[in-house]
Amino acid sequence: MPEGHTIHRLAQDCQDRFAGLPVRAGSPQGKFADGAALLDGAVLDAAEAHGKHLFLGFAGVGWVHVHLGLIGKVAFDDDPVTDTVRLRLVGGRHGEHAMNLRGPAACELITDGEKQAVHDRLGPDPLRADADPEPAWARVSRSRISVAALLMDQKVLAGVGNVYRAEVLFRHGVDPFLPGRALPRPVWDAMWADLVVLMRAGVRANRIDTVRPEHEPEAMGRPPRRDDHGGEVYVYRRTGQPCLVCGTEVRTRPLANRNLFWCPACQPPDPAAA
DNA sequence: AGCGGATGTACAG
DNA sequence: TGTACCTCCGCTT
């Protein structure tokens, strides 16, 4: 589930359901029982995301800091309570809204200062209005690390995960293994602008779609993609299948413990050949 | 029934 | 660079 768009959507969804009224809080699983006890009866007055970090502000209590990690999930309203729910919130005028948080890497109460420390170690987030992409470019343009690795480094740029990384590299014809400092500035600028658009669409649709209209299933006469990821993408988890643009087999290779996907023809080592 | 992955990160060595 | 952690789901037996 979780790249930055998921977390920003979550902030919105929590805001819409809980803001301004006291919540009931609990931890059916028990691991956040103490925190939930402090939250019970508090009023949500802020919901904010930076990259993959979610911050829920409760008046007089502080911030709940949530990071979903690889497998964390949030479900709302009708979702049944189970014993894996780390944090459950119930709110709304008639208790009609609920949130169940399962499997997070982090769910903790933190202070303003601790929240600031999280912001300080994150790079600019394409989904935040206050994002300044300049420091990200400064790091990328000085680095011998591959662009693929840099895009996943949350200190460089916050919110991009394995799907957006693969897809934005594809959309710009960039060789994933190209060192950051060999990436032309106009290409970087275009990638950043593209991430802003793609990730905003991701928040709205609550899934990742990156395929341009002319390559969409209807336009190409192929069935729509319906897997557990849910969106229409060019290369992510399409190993061995034909590239939607040129027909070359999509490749995969582990890079920094994650599977990288790319089209060797559309993203050649020498950009001039693309 | 049991295994291996998965849109992620932090820590050990 | 490897491994642990959190949960669920789909594939194999």
CA distances from A49 to A4, A46, A130 (A): 8, 10, 12
Looking at residue A221, what is its pLDDT?
Answer: 75
Amino acid at A227: D
Q: Is the pLDDT of residue A271 over 90?
A: no
Please check whether strand C approaches the CB of A230 to within 7 Å.
no
The answer, yes or no, to whether residue A273 has pLDDT greater than 70, is no
Say if CB A142 and CB A156 are below 8 A apart.
no
Q: What CA–CA distance (Å, rounded) separates A107 from A130? A: 25
Question: What pLDDT does residue A262 have?
Answer: 97
Check if A135 is active-site: no
Query: Distance (Å, rounded) from C-alpha A92 to C-alpha A113?
Result: 29
- The DSSP call for residue A3 is S
Phi/psi-derived region of residue A248, left when phi > 0, alpha when psi is between -120 and 50, beta in every other case? beta
**A77, containing H or E segment:** none
Which positions of strand C lie within 7 Å of protein CB atoms?
Answer: 2-10
Q: Give the separation between CA A96 and CA A90, rounded to whole angstroms.
A: 7
Domains in chain A with CATH codes: 4-120 (3.20.190.10), 134-273 (1.10.8.50)
Q: Which phi and psi angles does A33 have, rounded to 5°?
A: -60, -45
Interatomic CA distance for residues A147 and A157, integer angstroms: 12
Q: Which residue has the higher pLDDT, A178 or A227?
A: A178
Catalytic-residue membership of A2? yes
From the list A73, A135, A258, A268, the catalytic residue is A258
Q: Which residues lie below 8 Å from residue A244, measured CB to CB, with a gap of 6+? A: A211, A215, A220, A234
Asked if A155 is an active-site residue, the reply is no
pLDDT band (50, 70, 90) for residue A229: low
**What digits encode the pLDDT tens for the residues A185-228?**
999 999 999 999 999 999 999 999 999 999 987 777 777 665 55
